[in-house]
Amino acid sequence: MANRNSIRFVVRNAESIYKQLRWHGEVKCPHCGSVNIYECAYGYKCRRCRKRFTNYTNTLMHGSKVDTSAWVLTLYLMLDSRGISSVEVARKVGVTQKTAWSMMMKWRQAMSQDSVELKGVISMDEAYLGGSWTNKPLRKQQAIADKYIPREFQHGSLPKSTFLKINSDIHTPIIGMNDGSSVVLKVLPRGFSKTDIQDIFNSHSSDVTCCVSDSSKLYDDWSVPFEHSNHSKRQYTTASGYSSNNVEGLFSHLKRALRHNQVHISDKYMQLYLDEMAFRWRHRLDTIHIKMLDSFNNSQHKPTKIPNPKPLTNPDIEFVKECFAFGSFVESVELHGIVYHNN
């Protein structure tokens, strides 16, 4: 966890840390990617596309009135912990809780799992996030039970199949996949089916050797080789020695982090919290600098492609000839995005 000295260092050197994360020592145009730029009163200007930009163009901080030190310190606190609430970030950064929550959600958007690919042996399992329905008031429990079983047939405890339906209805179902070096955590729709899991698996997997899961019917009749372990019979490894305990351990870390730092998470924002957890797990062995660098690179928009330059007109050709008339003193001339060499 971050201490006072590290927080003071980040605050004092926030501007230099930000520039290093953004430019990596070389300023480039965010519009066309050119390095042929110069400083101006507004910030920078590109000689190629003739557009102006600043250190915050095409980033999460573009147009924000919050100080740079607050953005950098928020990212540092999120990555240097196993989870932190917006209330604690607001207290340490010196902003309101709403501002801290907004900054944290934007940083979570930069930790997306869209480009993650799993390979080799992949462990899969589903889980349900949310409090137990038995902790609700009795009148709400009765309303939930009446939704699935008529009142006249409710005698004693409810069957297991009814409990599974209740979990998928009042809780948020998620799917976890782990190949040992990277993980994917995705939110499943209410009342999900095998097709929903297969779509997520196909979009995040390549060169799959084998998949490991429990004895659920959701993983039957797949096009990839599957091995199952029956947990109800205390079988936690397959015949080949594979186990799904790594994804079970991931769920354990996830549930503890959410339970200790968050009061409630709506379905609308659940995927962003899963992205943060998966990002932190993938970089669990990296330094804080590598974590901040990777998350900051994902927060930038890709440069737009500039159109093909127009052919030179007669005045432009005369201008290039005049420049080359000085002999070997002029080696090249750049005009309208094209570099002409003096051969």
pLDDT digits (tens, 9 = 90+) for 65-76: 899 899 999 999
Q: What is the pLDDT of residues 136-180, one digit of tens each?
A: 787 877 777 777 776 666 666 666 666 666 666 678 889 999 988
pLDDT for 95: 93
Banded pLDDT at 207 (limits 50, 70, 90): confident
Q: Of 85-89, 112-116, 150-154, 234-238, which has the strongest mean pLDDT?
A: 85-89
CA distances from 320 to 60, 183, 315, 337, 339 (A): 41, 55, 9, 13, 10
Residue 341 has pLDDT above 70, yes or no: no
pTM of the model as a whole = 0.78
Q: Which long-range contacts (CB under 8 A, 24 or more apart) does 278-286 make?
A: 278/111, 278/113, 278/116, 278/183, 278/184, 278/185, 279/111, 279/113, 280/79, 280/82, 281/183, 281/250, 281/253, 282/116, 282/182, 282/183, 283/79
pLDDT at 310: 47
pLDDT at residue 333, as a whole number: 62
